[in-house]
A and B are shown apart, each in its own frame.
Chain A
Amino acid sequence: MRTIRLDSVSLPPALRKRVSARTLVGLGVVWLTVFFIVPVLYLLVESLNFGDGALFAYYETALSGVYGETLVRTFLYAFLTTAICLVLGYLSAYYIAFKSKRAILLLSLVLLPLWIAIIIRFFGVRLFFISSGPVQQVFGTDFGFLFSRNGVILGLVCALLPFAVLPIYNSLRSIDDELINASHTLGASQLQTLRTVILPLSYPGVIAATLFVFILAAGSYLAPSFLGSSENLMMANRIADAQGYSVPLASAMSVVFTGGLLILVGLFNHFANVSEVLGDL
């Protein structure tokens, strides 16, 4: 398909008279503002204690004791999941992009699980380790996977691997073969080519993968509640629980969690240009 210059694109004049393209964007922005941004910001208002007591009382609770621990644990789990997904995702994307002859088949097998509800996939992981499950029957033990940190991480890795493989694969595919050939022709070994040509050029994919996996892992509710114990709960579980007895506390935790996530993404943005990757989506 030929490339087109975007600035030459315009809406048909008859339609432009009635509804301009700007109106359509405005519609979407207003809709999203009313039904998403305002409700989320309302949580911020609710988290501030405008009634009696100190203004930030709920933030003190949200940052201390069991809630503070959960916050740290959430980001630790997300970090571990991201690290495992990046290693497995990069190696498999590399194989699919450069070594396999059935790239399309292998790639659609990566995509396939995305169509299946996450609750079903976590249920499958749990079935694997239950007392009547195959792992117990073959090995006589579940290796401490079920209802532990390792179980939660395993579940998250299973669920989020596609979000690591796909962006990395895309960035590997978009590397010009000529650059790799040139590197070989100029005498670089395979390893040197990998280190100086392929790795740097696949950074955008790695950044996108890191971002997706980290954010989705940190916000997970089902992985801890299906595969963890009360020791492994993450922020989503605490927020959902707190909602039952103190909405301001749940709101404060939401703000703390989202704020923490934004700070981490901001730090990450300092080393890698996140907005560029997001713009390319």
Chain B
Amino acid sequence: MNERLERLGLLPVLGLVYVLLLLPVVIVVLTSFTVSEQPTIPYDGVTLEWYVELLYNSRIYDSIISSVIVGVAASLLAGAIGTATAFGFVRSEIPYKETLATVMLLPIMISPVIIGLALLRFGGTVGMSSGYPVIILTHTVLTFPFVFLIVRSRLLTFDTQLEDASRTLGASNIETVCNVTLPLLAPAVAAGMLLAFVISFGEFTATQFLTGAGSQTVPIYIYNQIGTGLSPEISALATVLVVVMIAAGYLGDRLT
């Protein structure tokens, strides 16, 4: 195949892929600056009016606080359980290791609508069908595989000679874990937890069954607002989230 022909054929596809990936986000950001009452591309002038509206909307505050509470709690829990499991998984010989690895990834493969329904019923049985505890539990289940994957892949390339060196130089085992193992593992754990936070922050499908009066997360709020009519205010709220999520993503990227 001719090299130039190859380039000419591939470049339009590449362009299309980036349009599909990025344009939906770009239009959300653009429409947040419109002067119109509808979320349109601002042709005739831009305004920050919709961001000011955000500041006066207490329901948005409440939903952001709910999302932060759920996101922080779920990422801490998923971080702790995911790290411990990945550590044990890499550093022990256990039967059916391959199968077990697949089981750890099951929460990614089962549709979140089924996980939401299952935990709604489970929560109902133990007396918590809505509210923070069951939402946090659900988000922990949904994000656990990602922490597990990230920490495991770091552990697989972990140079254990560093731990040996620490012990040879006279450090106790606890000192070795605290001063060598954990600091080397920390960036992967932090990256996993950031990813867990971002996933939790954007989760809708499973969460929709579990929110009560005081625990509407941001995606639930956005979904309900879109159901009642489109306003540029939703674009403004979404833009704020885009900025927060990209910042978190950038931070996570720097860590790994």
Contacts and interface: CB of A to CB of B under 8 A. Distances in A.
Q: Do A and B bind each other?
A: yes
Interface of A: 1-2, 4, 6-15, 20-29, 31-32, 35-40, 42-43, 46, 88-89, 91-92, 94-96, 99, 106, 108-128, 130, 132-134, 154, 157-158, 161-162, 165, 189-191, 194, 215, 218-219, 221-222, 226, 235-236, 239-240, 243, 247, 250-251, 254, 257-258, 275, 278-279, 281
Taking chain B's interface residues, is the majority helix, strand, or loop, or is none over half, making it mixed?
Answer: helix
Nearest to B252: A115
A8 B161 CA distance: 11
A254 B114 contact: yes
Given A36-B106, A42-B122, A132-B40, A110 B21 contact: yes
B111 A236 contact: yes
Interface residues of B, number: 103
A12 B91 CA distance: 10
Interface string B105-125: 111011111111111111001
Given A28-B85, A39-B118, A22 B92 contact: yes
Interchain residue pairs A-B with the least CB separation, the first 9 = A117-B202, A24-B88, A28-B85, A124-B24, A219-B111, A14-B173, A21-B92, A115-B249, A12-B173
B51 interface: no
A157 B17 CA distance: 9
B185 interface: no
A249 to B, nearest CB: 11
Nearest to B246: A115
Contacts of B39: 127, 130, 132
Contacts of A278: 101-102, 105
B198 A115 contact: yes
B107 A36 contact: yes
B28, B40, B118: residue with the most chain A Cβ atoms closer than 10 Å: B118
Interface of B: 1, 3, 6-7, 10-11, 13-14, 16-18, 20-28, 31, 36, 38-41, 81-82, 84-85, 87-94, 98, 100-107, 109-122, 125, 137, 140-141, 144, 148-149, 156-160, 163, 167, 172-174, 176-177, 181, 198, 201-202, 204-205, 208-209, 219, 222-223, 226, 230, 234-235, 238, 241-242, 245-246, 248-249, 253
B104 A28 contact: yes
16 contacts: A2-B159, A11-B91, A14-B174, A22-B92, A24-B85, A36-B106, A39-B121, A115-B245, A116-B241, A116-B242, A120-B241, A127-B230, A215-B109, A243-B209, A250-B117, A257-B111
A38 B141 CA distance: 12
Contacts of B7: 99
Nearest to A17: B173
A1 B159 CA distance: 8
A91 B13 contact: yes
Contacts of B88: 20-28
A221 to B, nearest CB: 4
A26 B82 CA distance: 12
A21 B27 contact: no
Given A22-B94, A118-B202, A235-B111, 7 more contacts: A40-B118, A99-B7, A124-B23, A125-B24, A133-B27, A226-B226, A236-B112
A257 B112 CA distance: 12
Contacts of A133: 27, 40-41
Contacts of B118: 36, 39-40, 42-43, 254
A91 B14 contact: yes
A158 B235 contact: no
A95 B20 contact: no
B117 A4 contact: no
Nearest to B89: A25
